Amino acid sequence: MTARPGEQRVSWSKRERDIVYSHGGDGACGSTARLLAYALEDVEVYQGRALRAELEARGYDLTTLRFSIRKKVQP
């Protein structure tokens, strides 16, 4: 998975068999990727579970996970 310049991406990796986080530079950086990982995997959202674990507990298929966000274009 490769992110474009200014983009953060989160998705399931078949090779890694896990969620992967990537950033494309041009303002999108590793610290934001770590923030996304922290939000999905460490912050308790329900009954002591992180969002990732809670989604799995509710029957969601994380192998279909895809998320991307881009930096705002500055005029």
Q: What's the pLDDT tens digit per position in 44-63?
A: 999 999 999 999 999 999 99
Binning pLDDT at 50, 70 and 90, where does residue 37 land?
very high
Provide the CA 35 distance to its chain's centre, in angstroms.
Answer: 9
Half-sphere exposure (Cβ direction) of 56: Cα atoms closer than 13 Å: 11
Work out the average pLDDT over 26-42.
Answer: 92
Which pLDDT belongs to residue 25? Answer: 81
30 pLDDT more than 80: yes
pLDDT top residue among 75 and 51? 51
In whole angstroms, give the CA distance from residue 41 to residue 31: 15
